[in-house]
């Protein structure tokens, strides 16, 4: 792993996603570079402790991460692991309204999006109960607005389908927008679990653990694939997704 020398500047990338996107595969892609270390969903335990939500492996998560968001925020804005690039996989729904966001100003923030019907269809395979806040689209818009207001322009937005359709082209464009060089090492990785994976990996990461790269599915879930009980939720989420989608990178 390449370490920072005095003539190199560390870049902290906070990639903001909702659940059941390609967020873990994206983390794999960055981690496969020689100049990157990654952090997996650092606010998860703080979110669970604050909400009392019942998630798979809840107690294990709480036991292995700080539960005070202030401690996590201080760490995420800190010097990092010592590599030129520090990639933080951040979940929008973990950032509760009373969790401060000032720490984000130390990061280069980017946003990963997916149509709500695809998110919900995938989410149902892991949890049967789901709300609008669970999929993070509202909070993602709020975080995006905060970053855009500070920068005076839209930060990078990438859609999972763009990456799956043409990984080299999409990731090259994303790296350019982030101000880092593209590496072909991002296109494939060894199968299996990583020491950097959160303790919750057995409950959520079965598909990505089998993967060795980005693979486009034969078909994407559609609105009609959803049970009738979830269609109103997809409709409520769609304006938030569509607003973000207008800013996606034209890779």
Specify the 3-state DSSP secondary structure of 46.
helix
| Residue 197 CA neighbour count, 13 Å, CB half | 20
Give the tens place of pLDDT for each residue, 223-236: 998 999 899 999 99
Q: For the CA atoms of 103, 79, 196, 32, what is the dihedral angle to 10 degrees?
A: 110
pLDDT at 6 > cutoff 70: no
pLDDT at 8 > cutoff 60: no
Contact present, 84 and 10 (Cβ < 8 Å): yes
**pLDDT of the residue at 110:** 98
Tokens 């859609």 belong to 159
Give the tens place of pLDDT for each residue, 65-89: 999 999 999 999 998 898 999 999 9
Percent of the chain with pLDDT over 90: 78
């Amino acid at each position: 792993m390449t370490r920072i020398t005095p003539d190199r500047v560390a870049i902290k990338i906070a990639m903001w996603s909702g659940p059941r996107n390609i967020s873990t595969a994206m983390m794999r892609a960055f981690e496969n570079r020689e100049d990157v270390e990654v952090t997996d969903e650092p606010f998860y335990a703080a979110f669970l402790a604050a909400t009392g939500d019942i998630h798979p492996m809840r107690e294990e998560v709480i036991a292995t991460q700080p539960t005070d968001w202030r401690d996590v925020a201080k760490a995420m804005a800190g010097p990092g692991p010592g590599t030129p690039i520090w990639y933080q996989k951040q979940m929008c729904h973990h950032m509760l309204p009373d969790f401060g966001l000032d720490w984000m100003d130390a990061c280069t923030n980017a946003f990963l999006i997916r149509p709500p019907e695809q998110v919900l269809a995938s989410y149902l395979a892991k949890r049967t109960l789901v709300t609008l806040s669970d999929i993070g689209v509202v909070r993602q818009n709020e975080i995006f607005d905060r970053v855009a207001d500070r920068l005076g322009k839209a930060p990078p937005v990438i859609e999972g389908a763009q990456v799956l359709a043409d990984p080299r082209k999409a990731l090259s464009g994303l790296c350019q927008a982030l101000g880092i060089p593209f590496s072909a090492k991002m296109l494939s990785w060894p199968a299996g679990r990583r020491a950097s994976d959160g303790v919750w990996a057995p409950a959520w990461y079965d598909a990505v653990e089998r993967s060795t790269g980005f693979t486009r599915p034969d078909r994407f879930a559609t609105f009609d694939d959803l049970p009738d009980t979830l269609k109103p939720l997809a409709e409520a989420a769609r304006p938030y997704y569509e607003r973000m989608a207008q800013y996606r990178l034209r890779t």
